[in-house]
Structure 1
Amino acid sequence: MIDYEVLRVIWWLLVGVLLIGFAITDGFDLGVGALLTLVGRTDEERRVMINTIGPHWDGNQVWFITAGGAIFAAFPMIYATAFSGFYLALFLTLAALWMRPLGFDYRSKLTNPTWRRAWDWALFAGGIVPALIFGVALGNVLQGVPFTFDEILKVTYHGSFWALLNPFALLAGLVSVAMLLMHGSVWLQLKTADRLFERARGLSVLLGLATAALFVLAGIWVSVGIDGYVLVGAVDGLAASNPMNKAAVLESGAWLNNYGRFPLLIVAPLLGIGGALAVAWLSLGCRSGWAFVASSLSLAGIIFTAGGSMFPFMLPSSANPSMSLTVWDASSSETTLMIMLVVALIFVPLVLAYTAWSFWAMRGRILEQDVTDAKAHTPY
């Protein structure tokens, strides 16, 4: 029987896996959307780009919805507190994401160039805005979010929307944008040909280098310019969740402590940097398949670097460090986590199998002729 402490760690890992799955699958279609007005020069080229993600984008959203549902069910305090603090930012994210189904459906309804350009920019916003906000949110989490609890665990957020747009958070947002644009450009390498392929290949080189450079810069900033959080005294990993029953303090360089405790954790940032550099190198050699693998590993490394550096903290409080939410005091009950684990072991493999099958079934490059041929019946 798995005990409560281990269950909490398992669900911390599973939430991380779901977020990485979302970044890898939905990340490339966010990236393609954001690149639509940059890479696509003609209506036909933009139709090709849209059709590369058309069969996949809605299925990819499953990872996003599942990750949100997992956080809600496994770590409800994290979900509630994050939505209190980032409410407006998350609303803007959802509003931008709404532009994608609308753009995919309505763009092709009229052939009017103005109509189609308007929806192209809507799809651009639907890709770039979520990518930026996800990174800005993570940048704020690494610095600590200004919230407190009262005696009945009612949360109060003490910050403002504009305070979220601080220099480090904006840098984290640029890392997020660069890595998802990189992922989208590599996807276009896999799925297009001729001029689109060449433009996407050139962008992949630049974006791979930019992602690595920005990620290194953010890591240096975290190591020398941002105080991390440290638990004071022993913590009972088997106790019922209550963020009021611990003590925590800010400490310079604390986000690097886990690399001394768990040396294998260094693999995560090395993957983040090495994967992005490998994208640039492999793209130069026209090895698109391996470039996509490298891009996926880079995204996984970057995301797990943030989570691994903060463990066991999940949502630190800058207003009162001792009220920070951790793996040990923000989770659901042992029974809930156990039931969820059984469900996850059944359905996550099914989602993986369906996702793999859909990508295999839709394999191959899309050409301009495919979208201009009346017999092709492309939907976008």
Structure 2
Amino acid sequence: MLFDYETLKLIWWLLIGVLLIGFAIMDGHDMGVCSLLPIVGKTDAERRVIINTVGAHWEGNQVWFITAGGAIFAALPLVYATAFSSFYWALMAALWALFFRPVGFKYRSMIKNDTWRRAWDWGLFVGSFVPALIFGVAFGNLFLGVPFSFDEHLLVSDSVTLRGLLSPFALLCGVISVAMMIMHGGVFLAHRTVGEIQARAKKFTMLSACVMVVLFAAAGFWVAQLDGFVITSQIDKGGVIDPLAKTVITAQGAWLDNFAKMPSLWALPALGLALPFVAVGLMYAGRTLLAFIASSLATLGVVATAGVALFPFYMPSSTDPRASLTVWDSTSSHLTLMIMLYVVVLILPIVVTYTSWAYAIMRGKVTTAYIKENEHSLY
């Protein structure tokens, strides 16, 4: 084999991170746009402009989410099974909300009726705002530890109610996720629109950037007071999966240990704290494409900060800490990871190239005049 088992486990931790960051950047900005839809768009024509800034791309962006889910299912089956058992109601709520997106884009403009269209506008809002909130809440619960354990057959023996997920810290993470998404979507909307729509998008982008930075900093201080998880026993990093064959303790501030061991990693939270303001400054300076790149890097910084802080844990267990799922004891077989890596090496460059080409071809401003000229061929 090209890589040993330990190296493959690390590679797949990185690849899952890349897919989640790709989802946050690509699907995040069109979710942000749709979350701003009922607020920024004052007339039907303006709302159609907003929808059509992402209408050509939202399905392709959703592929990042589907691919991330599929990769976790194949590469981290124990994580996938435990997450769907523990977060069942939360994930179902996110999926139910996501249903509004395809039908909203499809049916919204089929009938020229204000009540009909406003209803679908709010459907697109729910289908974008709610999943972003839930995904942030789920990340917050990882830092608190998820109440699950395993029996001798590695079957999950605990689950979490939707209400049980909504602790103050988890809700804070959910609001950060929403603010980040709206900031990112607002920058994209400012890039693709003109006039009053652009001016309103800029205002909400600046507001959401401020909220995101303040709350992200507050979450960092909060994490420093939380009990983090630490592996205290020897672990066979290249061995077969057995999450119960280790000892794990909790210690205050342990979630920041990786940053203490490698100070260069502080660059990641720095991106999340500084680049939202850089994006806003570039946006007001008229450099909207550079602003979108800056907001993308800010999004990367926030998601990567969470991943690095949790490493090597995927899902810590508050019920039985030794059952916590880590990079070393929750993956598929060596052969499975190797075959999947070959597929990624072949397919991912194609996806990135095609996506880049699609955005390049369909670039430019969307205006109300353009919508009126293409009344029957646009969303």
TM-score by length of 2: 0.98
Mind listing any 5+ residue stretches in structure 2 that lack a counterpart? none
- In structure 2, the residue matched to 1:6 is 7
Map 1:131-146 to 2 at 5 A.
Answer: 131-146=132-147
Q: After superposition, what is the alpha-carbon deviation per residue over 1:125-177, rounded to whole angstroms, capped at 9, x for unaligned? A: 01100010000010011110000000111111243221101100000000000
Distance in 1 of aligned mates of 2:221 and 2:234: 30
Could you say which residue in structure 1 is the equivalent of 2:270? Answer: 270
Aligned residues: 378
What residue is the counterpart of 1:345 in the other structure? 345
Aligned-partner SS, 2:149: strand
For 1:276 and 1:251, how far apart are their aligned partners in 2? 32
Deviation at 1:377, TM superposition (A): 4.5
Native 8 Å contact 2:87 2:159 kept in 1: no
Aligned residue type for 1:273: L
Match of 2:103? 102
Q: Does 1:73 align with 2:74?
A: yes
User: Which structure 2 residues correspond to residues 179-218 of structure 1 after superposition, within 5 A?
Assistant: 179-218=180-219
Task: Tell me if structure 1 keeps the 8 A contact 2:87–2:160.
Answer: no
Matched, 1:312 2:334: no
Provide the rounded CA distance (Å) in 2 between the counterparts of 1:182 and 1:159: 31
1:379 maps to 378
Partner amino acid for 1:149? Answer: F
Whole-angstrom distance in 1 between the partners of 2:200 and 2:286: 12
Match of 2:234 in 1: 234
* Local SS of the residue matching 2:338: helix
How far is the alpha carbon of 1:218 from its aligned partner? 0.7
Tell me the CA shift for residue 2 of structure 1. 1.1
Q: Given residue 181 of structure 1, which amino acid in structure 2 is its aligned partner?
A: I
Taking every aligned residue pair, what percent have the same amino acid on both sides?
52
Moved over 3 A (4+): none
User: Does the residue aligned with 1:148 lie in a helix, a strand or coil?
Assistant: coil
Q: CA deviation at 1:192?
A: 0.4
Q: Which residue of structure 2 lines up, in the alignment, with residue 280 of structure 1?
A: 280
In the aligned structure 1, how far is the partner of 2:203 from the partner of 2:287?
Answer: 13
The corresponding residue for 1:219 is 220
1:115 corresponding residue in structure 2: 116
Q: Aligned partners of 1:184 and 1:157: how far apart in 2?
A: 37
Give the conservation status (yes or no) of the 8 Å contact 2:49–2:368. yes
CA distance in 2, matches of 1:158, 1:51: 40
User: Which whole-Å CA distance do the structure 1 matches of 2:242 and 2:250 have between them?
Assistant: 20
CA distance in 2, matches of 1:379, 1:135: 32
Per-residue displacement from partner, 1:325-371 (whole Å, max 9, x unpaired)? 00000001111111111110000111101110110011000010011
Q: Is 2:58 the partner of 1:48?
A: no
Query: What is the match of residue 65 of structure 2?
Result: 64
What is the letter of the counterpart of residue 379 of structure 1?
A: L
Q: Does 1:84 align with 2:101?
A: no
Shift of 1:254: 0.3
Preserved CA contact (<8 Å) 2:227 2:252? yes
Give the secondary structure class of the aligned counterpart of 1:147: coil
Residues 78 and 331 of structure 2 are in contact (CA less than 8 Å); yes or no, is this contact kept in structure 1?
yes
| Contact 1:93 1:130 survives alignment (8 Å) | yes
How many angstroms apart in 2 are the aligned matches of 1:318 and 1:84?
A: 15
- 1:11-22 map, 5 Å: 11-22=12-23
Aligned equivalents of 1:265, 1:162: Cα separation in 2: 34
CA drift of 1:23 comes to 0.8
Q: For 1:162 and 1:202, how far apart are their aligned partners in 2?
A: 33
**Shift in Å at residue 319 of structure 1?**
0.3
The root-mean-square deviation of aligned C-alpha atoms, in Å, is 1.0
Superposition deviation, residue 235 in structure 1: 1.4
Distance 1:217 1:275 in 2: 17
**Structure 2 CA distance for aligned equivalents of residues 48 and 280 of structure 1:** 22
Q: Which amino acid aligns with 2:300?
A: A
Structure 1 residue 288 displacement after superposition: 1.0
| Secondary structure, aligned partner of 1:34 | helix
Letter in 1 for 2:288: S
Q: What is the CA–CA distance in structure 1 between the aligned matches of 2:297 and 2:287, rounded to whole Å?
A: 16
Amino acid at match of 2:61: N
1:205/1:279 contact within 8 Å kept:
no
Residue aligning to 2:171: 170
What residue number does 2:255 align with? 255
